[in-house]
Structures are given as structure tokens and as C-alpha cells.
Chain A
């Protein structure tokens, strides 16, 4: 199936730990994102990468470090986890050609629910 896939779907960990979430898309898209959705359902952009290059960094703490080994993968590593990091993290992707034609269409993964105890 063509899709945006995230692992793990659920992640429960203690404060102070370091964890990673992985994302892969097989849609041939050239831009990938991480969004954070808090308990009130607010969707906030964190990062975007275009062809492995960081394009958007929305004043996210340095404890969050995205890595894009190739344009099909964007991983998120979080150091020294805090209670406030508990949220659902969504990976998304889009094609730049779509943007240039006037439609900024994002395809989202199913989300990774992070719970910090």
C-alpha cells in the first residue's frame, strides 16, 4: 500500500529518557513533516524537510532532533523527555510539484502516541 508509515504507534516512557519515532513514505514525495497534536487536538508544525534538507524549524526545543537519511524517511529523536512532550506526533508528506500547482496537499501517517510518565 502507498502510504506514510510511522513506528511505533504507541510509546510509553519515563521522564528523562531518550526515544525515537520513525517515519517512511512510499509516495515518492519530496517533502516530509513532523506535526505535534496535543490533548486539545491542536495540530502544530514542528519541522519540515525537502530532499533531506531542513526547511522549517518552528522554534522546537533542541531536545528534538529530526533526521532525514533520504527523502523517503524522516525520523524524530527526542532527548531528556519531559511530561509536556506527551502528545500524538504525526508524520506527513507532500509533493513540491503539487505546491507549485497551487495545492499544498499533505498525506498524514496514523500517528505515534507518546506518553511520558
Chain B
């Protein structure tokens, strides 16, 4: 089955700096790659996603890049703010039918300091 690795496990940046989180996946058939943000005491929430037919996607201060050949994808957060502090999860899935499931990475705890 799919295996998703995520690095780093913890990341501390100063407010205003950029943060980058990287993931690799094992199944070349995976075609959908979302990123989730989990704030303290809450469930994960989708913040951005990318499909395998796209190399890059941007939404305001966050962007994702995908390298299908190398089987890795990354989350970039620019101009970080304290409210960006959370645990971030990457995931991969083969979006087909009812048995389609997301395999999550191990999470990155991002701390944005003042």
C-alpha cells in the first residue's frame, strides 16, 4: 500500500519567515495530494490540495509543488504569522472509487515565534 513520509517533524520559524514541509510517497499511481492543518484541540482541516496533472498551486501565502518523477511534494508558507502555528499533515491518495483512501504523513509541528 501507499507509504507517505514527511519531514521535518518539528519546525520553528520567526514571524515573517518562510516555512517548507516536504513529503515523499511510494505509490506512483497516487494522483491526489492534500495538505491538512490541525490546530490544538481540533480536527484536521484541508488548506490546499494538488492533483497529479499540476506541478504547482498557490493560494495567497501557501503554495504546493509536486514532482511526480521523484514522487515528492512540498508545502510552502510565506510571511508566516503566529496563527500558522499548528500541526500540518500531507497525504496521498488514488482517487478512484469507494475504496479510495487518504494515507497521511507523520505530521509537522510548525511553531511561529514572534
Q: Which residues of A are in contact with B by a Cβ distance under 8 Å?
A: 4, 31, 33, 40-45, 48, 50, 55-56, 90, 92, 96, 99-100, 102-111
Contact = CB atoms under 8 A, between A and B. Distances in A.
Interface of B: 31-32, 34, 36, 38, 41-46, 49, 51, 87, 89, 93, 95-104, 106-107, 109
A100 B97 contact: yes
Contacts of A43: 44, 89, 104, 107
Given A41-B107, A42-B107, A99-B97, A104 B43 contact: no
A103 B49 contact: yes
B106 A42 contact: yes
Contact of B100 (A41, A44, A99, A108): A99
Contacts of B104: 42-44
